[in-house]
Amino acid sequence: MTMLAIENLQAWYGESHVLHGVSFHVEQGELVTLLGRNGAGKTTTLRAVMGMMDRRTGSIRLAGTETIGLPAHRIPRLGIGYCPEERAVFRSLTVTENLMLPPQIGEGGLSREEIYALFPNLIERARSSGGNLSGGEQQMLAIARILRTGAKLLIFDEPTEGLAPVIVRQIADAIVALKKRGFTIVLVEQNFHFATEIADRMYVMDHGVIVDEMTPSEARADARRLERHLGV
């Protein structure tokens, strides 16, 4: 089953036209990454999927349901969890309170115990307030928070940004574990080493459109193909 099918997606911030016909798809159980330079339109694509743009046109189907005409508050209830780049944990609430706050929207969410097994660092921080966590702990909490909801499609915006390699490793392991549990995952990533290691397929964006699609083995066989796009 196709979990996410995007066709000719255009999106605007006010008068500013930022996405110019994005098309890609994600099958059930796949881990797909969106790569691209700063400003390519990756975050905007995720925001458009969540209905968080001033205007969007084209087609975005979630497990077959067209969402382009739906208001933002209806979209998570179709089974999608969004972890934004800014993490947005509640600073004055404890870790446990942050975890328990999002509503359950479907069956099959992880229990608190399962979440703590995935992110053991959070156990000893359970009573700490969100504002006292390190960047890595906040990122883990931001991911953990959408796992209770029962969402089957998870979208993560640059979860490794600014984090130490040891924390990046833990987050990579958690994302791979979530894929093994059957979640479908869309990951925006600047770190193409990380993306190449864990993705099933990778899309590259530039100037508000998808400009290439490849598997990690294709990327490894032709390193210059990614370098050309990413300017690395």
Per CB under 6 A, 39 contacts ligand ATP = yes
**Whole-angstrom Cα distance, residue 153 to residue 71?**
18
CA distances from 101 to 96, 104, 139, 158, 220 (A): 9, 9, 16, 23, 41
Per CB under 6 A, 217 contacts ligand ATP = no
CA distances from 30 to 16, 97, 170, 183, 215 (A): 32, 30, 20, 8, 12
Q: Say how many C-beta atoms besides its own lie within 10 A of residue 130's C-beta.
A: 22
Nearer to ligand ATP, 33 or 43 (CB): 43
State the number of binding residues for ligand ATP (CB under 6 A). Answer: 12
Q: Which of 22, 41, 136, 204 binds ligand ATP (CB under 6 A)?
A: 41
Per CB under 6 A, 4 contacts ligand ATP = no
202 Rama class: left (phi>0) / alpha (psi -120 to 50) / beta: beta
Per CB under 6 A, 76 contacts ligand ATP = no
User: Mask 9-28, x = binds ligand ATP (CB under 6 A)?
Assistant: ----x--x-x----------
With beta carbons less than 8 A apart as the criterion, state whether 26 and 183 touch.
no
Q: Which of 6, 22, 26, 40 binds ligand ATP (CB under 6 A)?
A: 40
Per CB under 6 A, 42 contacts ligand ATP = yes
Residue span binding ligand ATP (CB under 6 A) among the ranges 31-39, 70-78, 191-199, 212-220: 31-39
Per CB under 6 A, 159 contacts ligand ATP = no
Q: Which of 1, 38, 73, 231 binds ligand ATP (CB under 6 A)?
A: 38
Q: Say how many C-beta atoms besides its own lie within 10 A of residue 24's C-beta.
A: 18
Per CB under 6 A, 51 contacts ligand ATP = no
**Whole-angstrom Cα distance, residue 163 to residue 214?**
26
DSSP 164: -
Per CB under 6 A, residues contacting ligand ATP are 13, 16, 18, 36, 38-44, 190
